[in-house]
Amino acid sequence: MKGRAGNGHGPPVQRYSALSLVRHGLTKGDWPKVWRTHELERSYDVVVIGAGVHGLATAYYLAANHGARRVAVVDKGYVGGGGSGRNTAIVRSNYLTPEGVRFYDRSVRLYQSLAADLNFNIMFAQRGHLTLAHNDGSIRTMRWRAEVNKLEGIDSEVIGPDEIKKLVPFMDTSAHTRYPILGALYHPPGGIVRHDAVNWGYARAADALGVQIHQNTEVLGISVKSGRVTGVTTSQGEISAPTVINCTAGWASLIADMAGVSLPIITHPLQAAVTEPVKMFLEAVVVSGSLHVYVSQTDRGELVFGASTDPYASYSMRGSLEFTEELASHVLELIPSIAKMRVLRQWSGLCDITPDFSPVMGVTPVDGFLVDVGWGTYGFKAGPAAGEAMAELAATGKTPALIAAFDLARFPEGRLVGERGAAAVGH
């Protein structure tokens, strides 16, 4: 962490270390709160809407990299309660477009040092990532992605069934299945992370630098005067601010509407499920777009599964029996030996999908109102890089080159960044 400044509302967050663990063991004292609560002030320099990984990372980098201190993060729920706590925590950079590959690679690199930067164990495990191909069209897309990845210096290659079997011995790679595996895009730097820890780590580090986190503070309106944002109305009162950043997922277009900004987003639920824990047997993350399934095993031993987005636009976050039934049938085509495992929980999150399956980051027609939205099914892995870039934009007024291609103006201007072919999730 670059700095450590309390904000006069309590003691600064304590550093976690072996020494502090021993000290707490001996004194049996309470650990300080991971982040503090504050009275909502009437004005801030920056108001970030959304206390998920994007909002918290933006606030953290504003404070850590640009010295901003009067920053508030507001959320209608709780830290990490939206998409940031509902995703399947996959991190990778094996995208299809050079812009996408460069952007997600920055995130992978930030994840690599994040535990040390935030002084919080985020359990990032680069276990390797396999995207399976079951037909010639998929093989062609995997080759394309591998070539773009290599040109951008990213470790990705197409491998055959024998190599896949070595990486995932329990997988049925025989030629006799309904959808035989012809090959896979293998991406060794891909892996999984503990998503709650990432949210809490950013919240704690941002708090230590003076950022105020306001949970249960719903944004009800955004004030705009003469084309400039002037503040937000929340369920806890009015706030004036010259910069407001929309870092929400699920409700991004509704929040933008409050500022009079229209976003090309359709929101679909995406369901996921987790099994009981078993001994570690699945090292890599395995994705099959054709079978509409992806699976990884957490360090606790649970299998985490996801499938396609629900086929209708909705803000519902309920799970469905159809999802679990289809998921089970697809997963068992790949790994028949887990047929007896029990599903413990299933849930749903909301994905804001844009026409080109790439996000929208940057300025809007309303001065001072910035957006970091439209992440579809890619949002969690992007949090660190998006937060870093959005903080730079908010602090300097200049759009960083890394996110320039993802501007809102690309839609009317026809400069799309097509990333549908890199989706793990069927759409």
Site residues (CB under 6 A) for ligand PYC?
88, 90, 92, 294, 306, 377-378, 424-425
Closest by Cα among 13, 72, 22, 75 to 201: 13
Q: Return the number of the residue (120 or 294) whose C-beta is nearest ligand PYC.
A: 294
Question: Which residues neighbour 75 within 8 Å (Cβ) at sequence distance 6 or greater?
Answer: 49, 50, 51, 52, 55, 81, 82, 213, 214, 215, 216, 217
Alpha carbon distance 239, 47 (integer Å): 8
* Direct distance between the N- and C-terminal alpha carbons of the chain, in angstroms, rounded to an integer: 39
Question: Least CB distance from residue 134 to ligand PYC, whole Å?
Answer: 18
Q: Are 1 and 15 in contact (CB under 8 A)?
A: no
Tokens found for residue 230 = 């002037």
Closest approach of ligand PYC to the CB of residue 131, in Å:
9
Q: Which is nearer to ligand PYC, 35 or 104 (CB)?
A: 104
CB of 293 within 8 A of CB of 308? no
Q: Is the Cβ of residue 145 or residue 214 nearer to ligand PYC in the bound state? A: 145
Q: Considering the complex, what minimum distance in angstroms separates the CB of residue 70 from ligand PYC?
A: 35
- For the bound state, the minimum distance from the C-beta of residue 268 to ligand PYC, rounded and expressed in Å, comes to 12
* Cβ distance to ligand PYC smaller for residue 53 or 424: 424
Of 86 and 134, the one with the shorter C-beta distance to ligand PYC is: 86
CA separation (Å) from 157 to 163, 185, 191, 262, 306? 11, 6, 16, 39, 24
Query: For ligand PYC, which is the closer residue by CB, 263 or 287?
Result: 287
Please report how close the Cβ of residue 351 comes to ligand PYC at its closest, in angstroms. Answer: 8
User: Taking the complex as a whole, how short is the minimal distance between the CB of residue 305 and ligand PYC, in angstroms?
Assistant: 10
Give the residue with the Cβ less far from ligand PYC, 141 or 217. 141
Shortest CB 141 distance to ligand PYC, Å: 14
Residue 50 or 306: which CB sits closer to ligand PYC?
Answer: 306
| Smaller CB separation from ligand PYC, 63 or 272 | 272
Q: Starting from the edge strand earliest in sequence, which strands make up the sheet with 293-297, in order?
A: 157-159, 183-187, 129-133, 285-288, 293-297, 303-309, 266-275, 343-353
Residue 89 beta carbon to ligand PYC: minimum distance, rounded to whole angstroms: 9
The H or E element containing residue 183 is strand 183-187
Report the nearest approach of ligand PYC to the CB of residue 378 (Å).
Answer: 5
Q: Which of 387, 399, 392 is nearest to 73 (CA)?
A: 387
Are 171 and 285 spatial neighbours (Cβ–Cβ below 8 Å)? no
DSSP state of 337: G
Distance CA 117, CA 62 (A): 15
Which CB sits closer to ligand PYC, 123 or 425? 425
Per the structure block, which two tokens stand in for 152?
């951008």
Task: Give the whole-angstrom CA distance, residue 2 versus residue 356.
Answer: 36
Contacts of 417 (CB under 8 A, 6+ apart): 97, 99, 100, 356, 358, 405, 406, 410
* Minimum CB–partner distance for residue 87 and ligand PYC (Å): 6
**Shortest distance in whole angstroms from residue 276 CB to ligand PYC:** 21
Nearer to ligand PYC, 55 or 289 (CB): 289
- Where are any strands of DSSP class E within 60-107? 71-74, 90-91
Q: Do 354 and 374 form a contact (C-beta atoms < 8 A)?
A: yes
What value, to the nearest 5°, has the Cα angle with vertex 378 and ends 363 and 153?
90
Instruction: Please tell me whether residue 346 adopts helix, strand or coil conformation.
Output: strand
Contact 421, 141 (CB under 8 A): yes
Assess contact for 350 and 374: CB atoms under 8 A: no
